[in-house]
Amino acid sequence: MQLTSYETASEMMQSLSAQIASELSAAIALRGRACLAVPGGSTPGPLFDLLSQAVLDWANVTVMLTDERWVPTDSPRSNTGLIKNRLLVNSASAARYIALYAPGLDHVGGARALSQQVAPN
């Protein structure tokens, strides 16, 4: 494994954004679509800002969270708000988003609904 060091966090985020965009483009070229699972919290926000501007076929990208609090999506504690405000904007607004939280369901029902959304066709 090769280690890469960066002078600044901004430089690291730019490199990571370019790498993710490249891998998404390669997956789309190979399979016609790609999935991007991302964490919540404030740490990935700067990465999302950069990635949202990447030029790629966002209409064939599905985005979902790896973690979420079981709160409505308009709650300040919801990671969905972060994704919608910082990643699913600019070029990335064409991406499909699968939310982990399902209004009107408890976490068990929500897990079932989510399983149906992500099951292969």
Give the model's pLDDT for residue 3. Answer: 86
**pTM of this prediction?**
0.86
CATH of residue 88's domain is: 3.40.50.1360
Asked whether residue 86 is domain-assigned, the answer is: yes
Give the model's pLDDT for residue 35. Answer: 95
Domain total for the chain? 1
63 beta partners: 36, 97
Asked whether residue 14 is domain-assigned, the answer is: yes
Asked whether residue 3 is domain-assigned, the answer is: no
Asked whether residue 2 is domain-assigned, the answer is: no
32: domain range? 9-118
Residue listed under structure tokens 């999506």: 73
Burial of 102 (0-12, 13-18, 19+ CB in 10 A): middle
Asked whether residue 102 is domain-assigned, the answer is: yes
- 3-class state of residue 1 by DSSP: coil
- The tens-digit pLDDT sequence of the chain (121 residues) is 788 899 999 999 999 999 999 999 999 999 999 999 999 888 899 999 999 999 999 999 999 998 878 887 888 888 898 899 999 999 999 999 988 877 787 777 777 777 777 766 5
